[in-house]
Amino acid sequence: MKTQIQHLAQQYYEQIVLDRRHLHAHPELSFKEKETARYIAERLKSIGLSPQENIAGHGVVAVIEGKNPQRQCVALRADIDALPIIEKNEVPYKSKNEGVMHACGHDVHTASLLGVAQILQDLRQEFEGSVKLIFQPAEEVFPGGASLMIKEGVLAANSHTPAPKSIIGQHVMPLLEVGKIGFREGVYMASTDEIYVTVKGKGGHGAMPELGIDPVLIASHIIIALQQIISRNTPPKIPAVLTFGKVIAQGATNIIPNEVVLEGTFRTLSEEWRYEAHRRMKKMAESIAEGMGGGCEFNIVVGYPSLKNDVALTQRLKYFAQEYVGKENVIDLDIWMAAEDFAYYSQVTDACFYRLGTRNEAKGITSGVHTNTFDIDEEALKIGAGLMAWLAVKELAGAFY
């Protein structure tokens, strides 16, 4: 079976590249992926599948039925949305939608899963069970397409397909050389929450601060004090990050504004500490503002939970990956303080989110995700499609030895 999958991955490689380049050239933002979804659905229909469309917005789902399709099911997920970034790459497949770019590799994930669809459709008489293909919208924007697709029953059983016993997600990693695959058991990625703070004071002339209440000074104290929660209240064994990336004070060199706006992100790997930190941050910010004569509106938009890879599933998939690409090409990953709405799936069923190496320094392909020069070595697409198909088949077979 491995040889068959590798042969088919090579056979369909050119089409997978074409799919990736088409998607890269026509990116769409979260919840606006109409044409992307249409393209996915047409490609699935072209290989004999009957996709469900318009799930949780522009989500697309298809099922490949092997022998005894109701025996068990494994789900595979790809995200399809892009980012609000102006692409700087000068390549034939550069974004044609100004200000929108596939800078996080979702075009790679989608093209790879389309390749998986073709491979497994060809091999459907060679495995037992069903493989559910989930093309998910809106990974980049709260509340996240994963949570919405779950609410619409994407992980539930129906009359034709059992509930997935497990779900597998693949994501590019430009820190890994092409050909390498990364896994981590247990908690892997952080929760993410957005923090919006409005510090209120009383504006006035910069030469007479005693007549006003300076919200810039108050905001400065709040920023420093909140970092104290990370350094002095977070248990040392729990990773946590607080970053304020936006500070707006609409004053001037000689004008104290009436208010200052702070916007930031809070991330941690502990759900229990997450909500305790929320309470502490809000209390501290409000107390500081009040103590300095001002006021404070402290709002937290709760985002994605931390992502936990099921240990047993991840151990199995890591072993299967070693079979497919060689033990020397499968590495153990460290924790990652970025966030992913794939975490929602991990709260419903056994889940594994692994990394696909895309870096090639010899070709100058080294830029990180969410940058305007991000690109991949397209050799990764051979592995991206073939490996995912192999993992699905092996997981259905329950072969671990």
Which residues are marked as active site?
81, 139
Contacts of 374 (CB under 8 A, 6+ apart): 89, 101, 103, 104, 105, 174, 367, 368
DSSP 80-134: --BBS------STT--SSTT-B--SSHHHHHHHHHHHHHHHHHTTTSSBSEEEEE
| DSSP character string of 343-358 | HHHHTTSEEEEEEEEE
User: To 10 degrees, what angle do helices 380-397 and 106-122 make?
Assistant: 50
Residue 224 CB-density burial (10 A; 0-12 exposed, 13-18 middle, 19+ buried): exposed
Interatomic CA distance for residues 58 and 30, integer angstroms: 9
Angle among Cα 34, 340, 164 to the nearest 5 degrees reads 80
Q: How far is CA 281 from CA 139, 213, 227, 278, 307, in A?
A: 27, 22, 9, 5, 23
Tokens representing 245? Answer: 């990336």
Distance of CA 119 to CAs 7, 227, 321, 393, Å?
Answer: 9, 50, 17, 11
